[in-house]
Structure 1
Amino acid sequence: MSETQLSLDQVEVAYGEKVVLRHLSFTLAAGEIGCLLGPSGCGKTTALRAIAGFEAIRAGRIRLNEDVIASPHRQWPPQQRGIGMVFQDYALFPHLTVAGNVGFGLEGLDRFTRRAKVMELLEVVGLTGHADDYTHALSGGQQQRVALARALAPSPRLLLLDEPFSNLDVELRERLSHEVRDILKARGMTALLVTHDQHEAFALADRIGVMEGGQLRQWDSAYALYHEPADRFVADFVGEGAFLPATVTVPGELEFELGRHICRATLDSTPGQVLQVLLRPDDVLHDDDSSLKARVVKKAFRGAQFLYTLALPSGSTVLSLVPSHHDHAIGESIGIRLEIDHLIAFH
C-alpha cells in the first residue's frame, strides 16, 4: 500500500459566522493525483488555499507526510510547507525570461547548478528552445507549462493546481490535461487540483472528490463516480443521465417502464416502494430488433456518435449514445434495449 502523502481530517474553515468548509476529510497517497471537483462556490478553492497555508482552519487538521501542517492551534507558514502551486492566472513575472521565471525559487543554488536544473525542467515541459524568451511572447499553453515548471523547480512535497486550464480553449485544455498528467506521473509527483470541469478531472486525476455546499459528497475513482454515484447530487453533476420512476417488486429487484432489473441498492427496500433509477446514455442501446420503442425528440452530433434524447410511451425521456452512421430523424421511432452492469436507484 502506498504511503499517505496528504491527509485532511474533519477540516473546517469559516469566515466569521459563515462556514465555508465542513468536515472535509480525504487522503491522497504518495504519487497520486487528486482533484476537488464542483460548481462555483462549493468550497474547493478554499480547501486548496487551506492546504497551501493561505487560509486558517477552525477545526480538524491537515497532515503532509508525518507533519501536521495545519490545526486550530498551529498553522505552518506557506513557505515552510514544501508545497508548490500553479495559479489560475499563472502569476508569471513579465520582466523575467522563461528561464528566469522557472529558476525564481532556486536562489540557494549556484549559477551553474541552477541553470542546469532550469534547462532540465524546460526539457520536461517541452520548452527547451524558449529559455531566453519573455513570457508575454508565449501562447497560453506555453505560459501554463512555464508555471508548471516553476512550481516543480524546488522539488515540492506536494503540487497544488488551481483551475490550471481555465484560460485555455477546449481543445488545448484537453491535450494539456493529458500532458501534465504524464509529466507529474513521470516525476512521481503527488498533486491536487481543483476544477469545475469534469473532463479535466477525468483526464488528470486518480481520485476525485465531488464537493457541494462546502462538503465532500464522494471521494472516489472517475469510474465509480460515474457508475456508482453515492447520492443524487453526484449522479446529476458527473456525466449525463436521466431518472425514471421505479417500483421495488422484491428486495433486490426493481420494475420500471423498461422492464424488471436487478438492483443491489434495493436489498433493504420494501416491496411497493417507489424510487428513481439512473440511466446513463451508454446504458440505453439502439437495437432495431427490440420490441421496446422510443421516439427521437432531440439529437446532438458528436462526431463518432449521436446523443439522442428519446421519449418513451409514458412521456419520460432517456438519453442514448448511438454510432453516428445511425442518423435518425426527429420524430422517428427506434428500437432500444438496456445493458446495465450497475443499476443505481435513489429515494
Structure 2
Amino acid sequence: MSLLKVANISIGFAERNIVEGLSFELQAGEIGCLLGASGCGKTTVLRAIAGFEALRAGEIQLADVAVSTAEQMVPPQLRGVGMVFQDYALFPHLTVAANVAFGLKKLPKAEQTERVARMLALVGLADLGERYIHELSGGQQQRVALARALAPQPRLLLLDEPFSNLDVELRERLGQEVRAILKETGTTAILVTHDQREAFAVADQIGVMSEGHIRQWGTPYDLYHEPVDRFVANFIGEGVLLPAQLTGPQCIDFELGQICRTAPVACCVGCEMEVLIRPDDIQHNDASEMKAKVLAKAFRGAEFMYTLGLPSGRTLLSLVPSHHNHAIGEYIGIELEMDHLIVFKK
C-alpha cells in the first residue's frame, strides 16, 4: 500500500517556483531519500510533506487521504508525521528521558515511562536517560532526536540532513544504525541529504534532485548502474565519459575496444555517443597488453583509486587492491570488465 503519494506538486515564493511538477510514492515501511546539492528544493519538499509549506499545485496524500493541495492544508500536528531536524532541536534543560517523553503527554504516566525506556533501548541509550544533552556526544544526541521522533509512533518520519553535524566515519555508521532501527520498527521515512554515501546507507529508494525536479527515482543500484541521463551519471558515484561510436544495433566501439550488450541502443549505426566508465569497470592485470599510465593515486586502505592516462590523453579511474602499489608515471596493464553498459547520445 502507498503510504505517501506526492503528485505533481509545485511550491514557490513570490514569482519563482522552487519545486515544480514533482512526483514520487513511498510504500508502507519503505525508506526514501531526496538527494541533491544545496538549493535544489529537497528540504522545501520535506517541509511541504510536514505541513510547513503550502502548495501552488498538485497534491500530497498520506494513507490515501489528501493532506495538502493548493486549496487546503491539514495542520502539521494532525498529520501523524515526526521530524528529526538538522540541529536535532533538543531541549538542553531537560534530561534525555524527558526529551524523549516530550511528545507523549497525552499518554498515562506509566505508559510514557514504558515507551521512553523502550525507545532508549532501541537506540542504544538505555543507561543514559538521566543525563542532560550537553553531556552527550554528537552521535548520542542524534540518537536522542531519533528516539524522541519515534516515541509517538508516527506513520511517517522525516529526517532533514540529520547527520550533517557529524564526522564522515560516524555519519556512515549511524546511517546504517538508523536504517536498522527504522526497519525494526516498520517506520516509513524520508531522508533529505546532499551526501550520496549517506543516502545509499539508509534508503530503499532515492530521488536525485536538480532545480526543483526529480531527475531519477530508483534504488541505489539502479541509480549507479542505470542512470537515465548525464546529470545522474555524474552525480552518483565516480566515473568518466569517453567518446564512442555505434557500430551495430547492440555494439559500440571506443578507445578500449568494442562492447556489445543485449539491449539495443536508441541510435543509428555510426552515430556519436559517450560511454560511462566507472572505476570498478577497469581491472588491473599485469599480463594485459592494454597499458595506461598512473597519473595520480589516492590510498583508501583496502584499495587505491588510480587516475590513469590513456594514449589519447584522456583519463580513467580504476579501483585497485592496495597491495598493487604502483608509482606515479608507471605504466600498468588494464582490462575492461563491464556488466553494465551506459551510453548517452551526443
TM-score by length of 1: 0.98
SS at match of 1:132: coil
Structure 1 runs, 4 residues or longer, greater than 4 Å off: 263-266
Displacement of 1:152 in angstroms is 0.5
| Equivalence map 1:1-347=2 (5 Å) | 3-263=1-261, 267-347=265-345
Aligned equivalents of 2:340 and 2:109: distance in 1? 58
The superposition leaves residues 87-138 of structure 1 with CA deviations (integer Å, 9 ceiling, x where unpaired) of: 0000001111111110001111121111111111111111111111111111
Residues 1:330 and 1:247: Cα distance change in structure 2 (over 3 Å):
same
Displacement of 1:268 in angstroms is 2.5
RMSD, aligned CA: 0.9
Letter in structure 1 aligned against 2:140: Q
Aligned equivalents of 1:264 and 1:154: distance in 2? 50
Q: How many residues align?
A: 345
Aligned equivalents of 1:27 and 1:237: distance in 2? 22
Letter in structure 2 aligned against 1:30: A
Query: Contact between 1:218 and 1:230, CA under 8 Å: does it hold in 2?
Result: yes
Letter in structure 1 aligned against 2:7: D
SS at match of 1:144: helix
SS at match of 1:295: strand
SS at match of 2:61: strand
Query: Contact between 1:266 and 1:345, CA under 8 Å: does it hold in 2?
Result: no
Letter in structure 2 aligned against 1:323: P
Structure 1 unmatched ranges of 5 or more:
none
SS at match of 2:124: coil
Query: Contact between 1:35 and 1:195, CA under 8 Å: does it hold in 2?
Result: yes
The superposition leaves residues 139-180 of structure 1 with CA deviations (integer Å, 9 ceiling, x where unpaired) of: 111110110010001110100000010001111111111111
The superposition leaves residues 245-280 of structure 1 with CA deviations (integer Å, 9 ceiling, x where unpaired) of: 001111221100000111466532112211111000
Query: Contact between 1:248 and 1:266, CA under 8 Å: does it hold in 2?
Result: no
Letter in structure 2 aligned against 1:309: T
Aligned equivalents of 2:286 and 2:108: distance in 1? 71
Aligned equivalents of 1:112 and 1:269: distance in 2? 68
SS at match of 2:146: helix
Letter in structure 2 aligned against 1:300: A
Letter in structure 2 aligned against 1:39: A
Aligned equivalents of 1:116 and 1:127: distance in 2? 14
The superposition leaves residues 211-242 of structure 1 with CA deviations (integer Å, 9 ceiling, x where unpaired) of: 00100000000011001101100000000001
Aligned equivalents of 2:266 and 2:102: distance in 1? 59
Residues 1:272 and 1:212: Cα distance change in structure 2 (over 3 Å):
same
Aligned equivalents of 2:266 and 2:18: distance in 1? 35
SS at match of 1:128: coil
Letter in structure 2 aligned against 1:312: L
SS at match of 2:327: coil
Q: Percent identity?
A: 62
Letter in structure 1 aligned against 2:276: L
Aligned equivalents of 1:134 and 1:184: distance in 2? 25
TM-score by length of 2: 0.98
Aligned equivalents of 1:57 and 1:337: distance in 2? 52
Aligned equivalents of 2:159 and 2:265: distance in 1? 41
Aligned equivalents of 1:11 and 1:302: distance in 2? 42
Letter in structure 1 aligned against 2:72: R
